[in-house]
Amino acid sequence: MRIPVGLCGLALLASASYADIAPEEIGLETLGDSQPTWFVSKSTMGAGFLFDAATGEMQGTLSLTPYTPVIERSVARGETYAAEIYYERLHRGKRNDVLTIYDHENLAAIAEVDLPDKVASLNFPEYLSLTDDDRFLTIYNLTPGQSVSVVDLETRAFVGEISTPGCALQMAVEDRGFLMICGDGSLQLIYLDESGQERERLRSDAFFSVDEDPVFDKPVRTPDGWQLISFEGLVFEVTVDGSSIDISEPWSLVTEAERAENWRIGGVQVYDVHLDMDLLFTVMHQGGVDTHEDPGTAVWVFDRGTQKRIGEIEFESPINGVLATQSGDPLLLVASAYDANVEVVDILKLRKLRTINTGQSIGLMVLYP
């Protein structure tokens, strides 16, 4: 084959030019101290993207499996935990469930703890829970049998499995305890001993009807304990004192006039509480019975002390969830229902500050304090 002399010259010149170019080296960025305005946005089947709500800037990525329900962070240990499910062929083949431990500095996996292959993989905030002393992590299992796996974070070892038939979630309370919502309308309280084994189990009386008005399985922390809200907008305050599970008489989010207009709570991440200000934020929409998963058109703001609505934020596009930062200048993060946007709202002024495009649909937002 004959090659024109001109083309040969061009080829030699190109080779010489490329030889003078130093290859690019891949760098490694590290995170500084986490801020109270940092949060992780996760899609139903995607990775976790870390953002700063105060600036709108992305900070990093947690390379989670498609079947990771939620993350839990220990500030004291500088670690983030994810109960992850792996399949040999991505979506099929042999299954292996592990607790992956990520460091803060690089968001890199630094250890794994093998788990029973039972982890529930829906995006629920309380599918993982740290005990109050940061010693043990509890993980919710569903096969459909219900149980909780316990991991010792000091030794990074699986401790054992606790059977919890009919009860789900874990809401941490003092003295290495956690509450669970049960299908008979009650709450279950389990305490762990110093080795992570079950020490005591208690049960409350039934306080809601699963058939008539169930509570959302999305509890949130309050200054004194936990808050539960029913599909019809009844608010229950839950506190624990030793062997006593105290559940308040409910108060209602909606007035009779608003109920007649079919205003009700709904969405995916349906409500949250700012602890220091004791404010409750709820995603609201107008709809009939069984629309508790429908997106909202507004966020209502309540003073939990007076149990009165004190503000309202309307949105042009449907919204699916809220998350309140616990910072000195508090921000409310509002997730869009149908795109990748998170609206950042100044809580004190009830004014929109910015929009963050997270790059994926939003199934869950988690603070990364």
One fold for 66-223 and 253-363 = yes
User: Per residue in 306-361, pLDDT tens?
Assistant: 999 999 999 999 999 999 999 888 999 999 999 999 999 999 998 999 999 999 99
For the chain, the domains span 66-223, 253-363
User: Per residue in 108-164, pLDDT tens?
Assistant: 999 999 999 999 999 999 999 999 999 999 999 999 999 999 999 999 999 999 999
User: Per residue in 91-103, pLDDT tens?
Assistant: 899 999 999 999 9
Distance CA 163, CA 143 (A): 12
What local confidence, expressed as pLDDT, does residue 44 receive? Answer: 85
What local confidence, expressed as pLDDT, does residue 3 receive? Answer: 42
Q: Check: CB of residue 81 under 8 Å from CB of residue 45.
A: no
As a whole number, mean pLDDT of residues 160-175 equals 98
Distance CA 221, CA 328 (A): 18
Say whether pLDDT at 8 is over 80.
Answer: no
Nearest Cα neighbor of 253 from 264, 242, 239 is 264
Say whether pLDDT at 7 is over 60.
Answer: no
Say whether pLDDT at 1 is over 70.
Answer: no
Domain 253-363, second-level architecture: 7 Propeller (2.130)
Fold of 66-223: Methylamine Dehydrogenase; Chain H (2.130.10)
As a whole number, mean pLDDT of residues 46-55 equals 95
pTM: predicted TM-score of the whole model, two decimal places = 0.91
